Amino acid sequence: MFNKELIWKEIEQCGLKKEIKIDELMKYHTSWKIGGIADFFCIPTDEEGLKKIIFFASKHELPIYIIGNGSNIWVPDEGLRGLVVKLSGTLDKIEYSGKMIKAGAGILLPALVRKTVEKGLSGLEFAAHIPGTLGGAIFNNASFGNKSIADIVRKIVVFDYNDNTIEIDIDQSIFFYRGLDLGIEKYIIVATYLEMVEDSKDKIISRIKNFYNQRKMNQPTDSLTAGCIFKNTEKQPAGFLIEKSGAKGLSIGDAQVSEKHANFIINRGKATSKDILLLIEEVEKKVEKTFGIMLEKEIDIIGLSNDQ
């Protein structure tokens, strides 16, 4: 385990005090509004700044947690031992070349959609109300209905922790349900090339409204959530299994399985990370007992195994 005070002194000596904060409360960086204090936290200014931060953390053997906008992660009440690097709010530039765009991984999906609509470019309508970053959407192969980010990705730019920036041409076979396999053990997505389709703004906006109405009708959009908790199974959607197991509406503390969509857990205001984790485990037990199926989590559980 590293010495926190010594690491902070090293941060000061390396001139990184402006980039890296100490003792940052993670509840301000998660959509559930949960999570304790991270030892160190930063939002890099640009790609070179990101490389500098990663080099420093690796040199000092600091655990590194890369997050986008914190929209699908669980963080423990005890916080995180190490460095959290948040990409939302940075790496957000867009370059246009006809129907092809290159977008930074830190751009928020709603912002990216707004900018592409202005250019009359279609393909991201389904993502207009997903509160995450482009990098997170690619890493998790985000989708809604029968549309997915994999449909339009043509090239991914990654940083591989060895100071190498690599551009990878995309074969659609690298994408799978809620993920992708680039054949690299450790990497950070820094940008991607997306192939869009030209269309009228009115038609694009109309499709965005349709996707939004579907989402609002079926999901608890007005509550604090982290999106879907579990991946769908091959036979049935996770929400169906949870509801039929009797877990819909179940609550622990201020965490509750949504009455609107059983694959969402909402924070009614004062839920702790422990409340949510216990509720997730209870849902898993009920579904396994009822159907003999062990659900696979869709959200990222980070920091749980740390020696805290």
* Model pLDDT for residues 295-304, shown as the tens digit of each residue: 999 999 999 8
Alpha-carbon distance values, 66 to 62, 109, 165, 219, 257 (Å): 12, 17, 17, 27, 27
**Average confidence score pLDDT of the chain:** 95
- What is the torsional sign of CA 136, 140, 144, 150? positive
Same domain, 10 and 116: no
Asked if 54 contacts 64 with a C-beta cutoff of 8 angstroms, the reply is: yes
* Secondary structure class of 108 (helix, strand, coil): strand
CATH number for the domain spanning 8: value is 3.30.43.10
Same domain, 98 and 80: no
Same domain, 72 and 112: no
Decide which of 168, 184, 218 is a domain's last residue.
218
pLDDT at 88 over 80: yes
pLDDT at 173 over 90: no
Same domain, 259 and 188: no
Asked whether residue 224 is domain-assigned, the answer is no
- Distance CA(34)–CA(26), nearest Å, equals 7
Q: Where are the alpha helices (DSSP H) in 47-182?
A: 47-59, 109-118, 134-139
Strand order in the sheet with 165-169: 94-97, 100-104, 188-195, 153-159, 165-169
Asked if 2 contacts 63 with a C-beta cutoff of 8 angstroms, the reply is: no
Asked if 64 contacts 85 with a C-beta cutoff of 8 angstroms, the reply is: yes
pLDDT at 307 over 60: no
The token pair at 194 is: 């997306």
The token pair at 146 is: 């029968």
pLDDT at 172 over 80: no
The percent of residues in the chain predicted with pLDDT above 90, rounded, is 93
Same domain, 64 and 104: no
Q: Considering the entire predicted model, what is its pTM?
A: 0.93
Same domain, 200 and 137: yes
Decide which of 66, 86, 106 is a domain's last residue.
86
Number of domains into which the chain is organized: 3
Q: What is the mean pLDDT of residues 2-15?
A: 94
Q: State how far Cα 134 lies from the chain centre.
A: 9
Strands (E), 26-79: 37-42, 64-67, 73-74
Residues in the chain: 308
Q: What per-residue confidence (pLDDT) applies to 171?
A: 76
Q: What is the 8-class DSSP label of residue 171?
A: P
Q: What per-residue confidence (pLDDT) applies to 258?
A: 98
pLDDT at 157 over 80: yes
CATH number for the domain spanning 131: value is 3.30.465.10
Q: What per-residue confidence (pLDDT) applies to 308?
A: 41
Identify the domain containing residue 51 by its residue range: 4-86
pLDDT confidence tier of residue 185, bands split at 50, 70 and 90 = confident
Q: What is the mean pLDDT of residues 151-155?
A: 96
Asked whether residue 225 is domain-assigned, the answer is no
pLDDT confidence tier of residue 89, bands split at 50, 70 and 90 = confident
Q: Report pLDDT digits (tens) over 56-87.
A: 999 999 999 999 999 999 999 999 999 999 99
- What is the torsional sign of CA 288, 291, 292, 297? negative
Matching residue, tokens 């396999």: 181
Radius of gyration for the chain, computed over Cα atoms and rounded to the nearest angstrom: 20
Q: What per-residue confidence (pLDDT) applies to 305?
A: 62
Decide which of 218, 247, 276 is a domain's last residue.
218
pLDDT at 175 over 50: yes
Q: What is the mean pLDDT of residues 238-264?
A: 98
CATH number for the domain spanning 289: value is 3.90.78.10
- Distance CA(197)–CA(123), nearest Å, equals 6
Same domain, 81 and 123: no
* Secondary structure class of 12 (helix, strand, coil): helix
Q: Report pLDDT digits (tens) over 91-148.
A: 999 999 999 999 999 999 999 999 999 999 999 999 999 999 999 999 999 999 899 9
Give the type of residue at 211: F
